[in-house]
Structure 1
């Protein structure tokens, strides 16, 4: 896996994993702030892009799914995680029909819950799972934490870009 995202400039540095909880909480607060801006949050600007509201719902669910994955990796080092079904969730959960105020609260709550789990990892940072994206690969909890920061930063940029 490349350590640099060509789209947003994020560089994966596993030494940053222990700061991930704080980064995720801060970024979730920024996502919530975007959801509080006036304008159309639910409409896609281009068919291949999710709307800002859909990106926020996705991030909420990423934080919740990653929390469960990390907890399982602490119990079962090396487990094989299943895909979260990111694309089908958009329709199955009706992301575009959700209330932006509710989603703003939920994304910050989900970040708090996930951050709490990361803050309590202790000696388990090197536990692993077989992560399903982009291809199945072994990933340490350090990588999962840094990857989740990337997800939040990248999608916050996606949201802001559509509203600019």
Structure 2
């Protein structure tokens, strides 16, 4: 089974895992820039029913970083814990993603990337191979190396999703 993403072109290279801490910070800065430089109405608008707005994608990524941090910490404390699903779809409504202030989300997303990155920076080499049972897309035992790379994929993929949902500037090419 390959985890590579045909939609965004992301390749799951597990050797990237140690660099994910700094890459997460770089992606968080890109989200923050998008959130702080785009009109709120454009950020909160859903282009079509059932597809998240750019603001909702940013909130989701913030929460992914926090959840993944806890999963990594859990795998360091316990042998092969089962990762509880984060309830990604329920969170959109339960936490009011579309109503959140973009500047707050930018700050929180940057902080979440820093917290996640700190946990990865502190992983001893042997702990990268610790495992947990990850439930998505189907239950499977995954290494912390995979969790880090999967989180990087989430950051990258959803930034593309968010940008695709924004109106194109006048004169922009397709």
Secondary structure at the residue paired with 1:36?
helix
TM-score calculated relative to the size of structure 1: 0.97
Give the RMSD, CA atoms, in angstroms.
0.9
Deviation, 1:48, is: 2.7
1:117-132 alignment, distance < 5 Å: 117-122=119-124, 123-132=126-135
The equivalent position to 2:76 in structure 1, one of 74, 83, 97, is 74
Deviations, residues 81-114 of structure 1 (Å, cap 9, x unaligned): 1100000000000000000000000000000000
1:1-164 alignment, distance < 5 Å: 1-39=1-39, 40-122=42-124, 123-163=126-166, 164=168
2:90 and 2:101 map into 1 onto residues whose CA distance is 19
2:136 and 2:3 map into 1 onto residues whose CA distance is 14
Q: Which stretches of structure 1, 4 residues or more, deviate above 6 A after TM superposition?
A: none
2:82 and 2:54 map into 1 onto residues whose CA distance is 31
Secondary structure at the residue paired with 2:43?
coil
2:26 and 2:129 map into 1 onto residues whose CA distance is 24
1:129 and 1:143 map into 2 onto residues whose CA distance is 10
Higher Rg of the two aligned structures: 2
1:10 and 1:70 map into 2 onto residues whose CA distance is 22
TM-score calculated relative to the size of structure 2: 0.92
1:118 and 1:79 map into 2 onto residues whose CA distance is 18
Q: Which runs of 5+ in 1 are unaligned?
A: none
